[in-house]
Amino acid sequence: MKNSFLKTYQHRVGFALSSKTVTTMIQVHLRHLHPHHYPHPVGVSFLSLVAVTVKHQEHPKRKRSDEETCQSSLARDLIKQILQTKPGGTTVLEEYEEAGTLCDSRRRQMVNILAAHMVETEGRIPQRITKEKYALGIVTLFPALKDPLSRKGYPTKKRKQKISAALAMDHLVVFHKSCRSLEEQLENQEGHRQPYLLASGTSKQAINTYYVVIDKKLIPCQGTTSLAAFDELFKVHFVFSQTMYMRGRRKGEAGASSKTVSVEEAVEHTVMNETPKERAARMKLGELRAQLEIERNKNLMLETMVKNLQEDKEFLKQQLVCEGIHVLK
């Protein structure tokens, strides 16, 4: 009875509905419809059906947008309340109202206030949802601070995982069997845009020579040990750092004319334009090199002393033998 009535009603009214929506409407409005109402579809029952249909066919995107707007307003009110109650927060709000943005010092002050409040409420390790809520409140309360490259206005990507020590060694050191050609090794080696070490030998346990490879050019290392080779590789990275090496490489790849920069010019340019962090690293490197040189000198002195003692011992033994005295071993 219901199915025949539904088909006739859809045919008369010309109104196509999904089976789920129509079933719901029949359960709600069946008492309003009677067979003698077929010739008069435009009435109270039809209006009720249209209202229910519109209600059931509400777009999910609109609902999601309303939820996001509600969450943004709640997060904005939370951030505003924290800044109004904490010392120094009103200064941040006043500066944004006057200038339309925040300077670096005010941004750091705001971040410190909110981070302290987050730690007070949730401990030293807040939840990810709380962090995102605070970030949403910041970009909603201060629209000028939004990140233009992010979809939500703040970065949401996870940090990249750190590579293992074995993978790092594969990027820095490449083994080359001494029986093979070096040119063939360089041609087949791809994926190294930065300087790396080429260890040449009969096996990985017996390395004879180390090379620093830059743009498929071989620079023989002066030292024969792995420590000395890594020291030279670090120096090459320091000299051809972001200021010179990568800039010249990009120009070469783009087809622009690039000039050859000597090592002295590269070192001078790096020292003149280094940041405080790079200066501290350079000073630390100097201290480590000085300590390494002291240890080397100590080892040389000990080796010399041992060698002299052995020579004196042999000389005394010869003297005693010449005098006819037998020396017990």
**222 by DSSP, 3-state: which?**
coil
| CA of residue 172 relative to chain centroid, distance | 20
pLDDT (tens digit, 9 = 90+) per residue, 278-328?
777 778 888 888 888 888 888 888 888 888 888 888 888 777 777 766 555
172, 197 contact by CB (below 8 A): yes
218, two tokens: 């071989």
Q: How many CB atoms lie within 10 A of CB 203?
A: 9
Residues in the chain, total: 329
Specify the pTM. Answer: 0.34
| CA of residue 291 relative to chain centroid, distance | 34
- Amino acid at position 6, single letter: L
**pLDDT value at residue 270:** 56
Backbone angles phi, psi at 325, to 5 degrees: -105, 125
pLDDT (tens digit, 9 = 90+) per residue, 137-194?
888 888 888 887 777 777 766 656 666 777 777 777 888 787 777 777 777 776 666 7
Q: Which of 28, 29, 34, 31 is nearest to 8 (CA)?
A: 34
**328 by DSSP, 3-state: which?**
coil
Q: Is beta strand 217-220 parallel, antiparallel or unpaired with respect to 196-203?
A: unpaired
Q: Which of 251, 288, 245, 290 is nearest to 270 (CA)?
A: 245
How do the domains of the chain map onto residue ranges?
2-56, 67-145, 165-286
Describe the crossing of helices 128-141 and 60-85 by its angle, rounded to 10 degrees.
80
Q: What's the mean pLDDT in 201-217?
A: 83
**pLDDT value at residue 157:** 64
Residue 5 has pLDDT above 50, yes or no: no
Higher pLDDT, 253 or 77: 77
Residue 9 has pLDDT above 80, yes or no: no
Q: Which of 200, 195, 206 is nearest to 181 (CA)?
A: 200
With a CB cutoff of 8 Å and minimum separation 6, the contacts of 80 are: 93, 137, 141
| Range 228-233 contact pairs with CB under 8 angstroms and sequence separation of 24 or more | 229/197, 229/199, 230/197, 231/289, 233/172, 233/195, 233/196, 233/197
Q: What's the mean pLDDT in 246-275?
A: 50
151, two tokens: 């979809």
CA distance 245 to 249: 6
- Amino acid at position 275, single letter: T
